[in-house]
Amino acid sequence: MSDTKKTGAGEIEPSKGKLGIMMPGMGAVATTFVAGVEAVRNGIAKPIGSLTQMGTVRLGKRTDNRSPKINEFVPLAGLNDLVFTGWDIFEDNMFEAATKAGVLEKSLLEQVKPLLSSIKPRKAVFDKNYVKRLDGPNVKTGKNKMELAEQLRQDIRDFKKESGADRLVMMWCGSTETFIPRGPTHESVAKLEKAMHDNDESIAPSMCYAYAALQEGVPFANGAPNLTVDIPAMWDLSKKNDAPIAGKDFKTGQTLMKTILAPGFKARMLGVAGWYSTNILGNRDGEVLDDPGSFKTKEESKLSVLEHILQPEKYPDLYGNIFHKVRINYYPPRGDNKEGWDNIDIFGWLGYPMQIKVDFLCRDSILAAPIVLDLCLFLDLAKRSPQLRGLGIQEWLSFYLKSPMTPDGLYPEHDLFIQSMKLKNTLRHLMGEDLITHLGLEYYD
């Protein structure tokens, strides 16, 4: 759809022309995403897992029988409008990187080789102090972090001109950086910029990308648990430059299961005594997370989910003494096929114990790729929407993220089903449709 939509919330600008998607990190997730989009465009495969491509949204009463596809309801960019670029510390083009990642079969990659081979990585902003298990030659140099960010801003302008893109989105598909706590340098744009000039260690490479994107008015989403845009300075930049932001950390395997199961336990008032989670994975992500600093960043993201869903302070008898442990182990033979194993000790009526065991043999990048697509298309929609673009944080996109960003003082919503309702009600609101409450009393008048 490309016509301007007049809604109760103002005019949504049309999705005319090309949408450029820029990805720091051209590893397994980014290459699986781009290869998948090209496969779908060529009729080779279906966009399974993508809400924007396969999902519907109910409008009005159940008896109205109005449930259009989401991409026919809101004016999203079409798959044929997408163009791509990326940055990486390795010099491999996307076809070479996808082959090494080993996620997709060679026979599929050969069918999309022309596009993948044409996408060569731009030199990355990288510092081994923030991702200790990786190193590569394709790296920018500069006297300080501000100068590196300015080089990224030039990359953004160059890509827009070279590709003919009308609009841009940046999606962090890079590695998990070592844990950085929010500090004084993150509290205002002025302090952030001074810290960048001073090469302050509290400014990670991902922040240089986010700063560059937001200064260029480009929406930014963070697919890793890094601090990146989850600081007041970035919130302010996002609002000032009408560049929507979302994050953190793609919700793919084990945490996806937690946000499905935990709301069910809570809905039925079943207690949880313990939840032990362990993961084995062998891709670049697994190698990076083998470093304690990077693992700490990921652990913070994964541990917070249960606490926010189960609310132990409100239900101390059920969840006040829960033991929650998360482990991630690097196991090279598994490659991108991650295994997430959960042992859940629950208890029911009169305190009698029960157990649930989940063994999710998932494919990390296969689950992440449609999230990248949806976030890109929805962030572009937000940029074109007068109601959304000046908000900064797009909390309605929490559905896709392990650690949803919120303003200070507002707790995040982790329940997958509430997140889904929030997302679809936002779309209804944008298009001037009634919100769905599921009360349903009107059917029995």
pLDDT digits (tens, 9 = 90+) for 140-189: 999 999 999 999 999 999 999 999 999 999 999 999 999 999 999 999 99
In the prediction, which pLDDT does 387 show? 95
Measuring CA to CA, which residue among 135, 246, 233, 125 is closest to residue 184? 233
pLDDT in tens, 375-412: 999 999 999 999 999 999 999 999 999 999 999 999 99
How confident is the model at residue 9, as a pLDDT? 45
Size (the chain), residues = 445
Output 347 or 288, whichever has higher pLDDT.
347
Cβ atoms 20, 156 nearer than 8 A = no
Residue type, 437: T
* For residue 42, pLDDT beyond 50: yes
| Closest to 247 in 3D by CA, of 213, 220, 269 | 220
Expressed in angstroms, the distance from the first to the final Cα of the chain is: 38
DSSP 8-state secondary structure symbol assigned to residue 224: S
Confidence grade of residue 298 (pLDDT, cut at 50, 70, 90): low
The secondary structure of the chain in percent helix, strand, coil, rounded to multiples of 5, reads 45, 20, 40
State the pLDDT confidence band at 336, using cuts at 50, 70 and 90: confident
- Whole-angstrom Cα distance, residue 176 to residue 403? 14
CB 98 within 8 A of CB 115: no
DSSP conformational letter for 442:
G
Query: What is the pLDDT of the chain when averaged over all its residues?
Result: 94
Over the stretch 14-23, which tens digit does the pLDDT of each residue have? 999 999 999 9
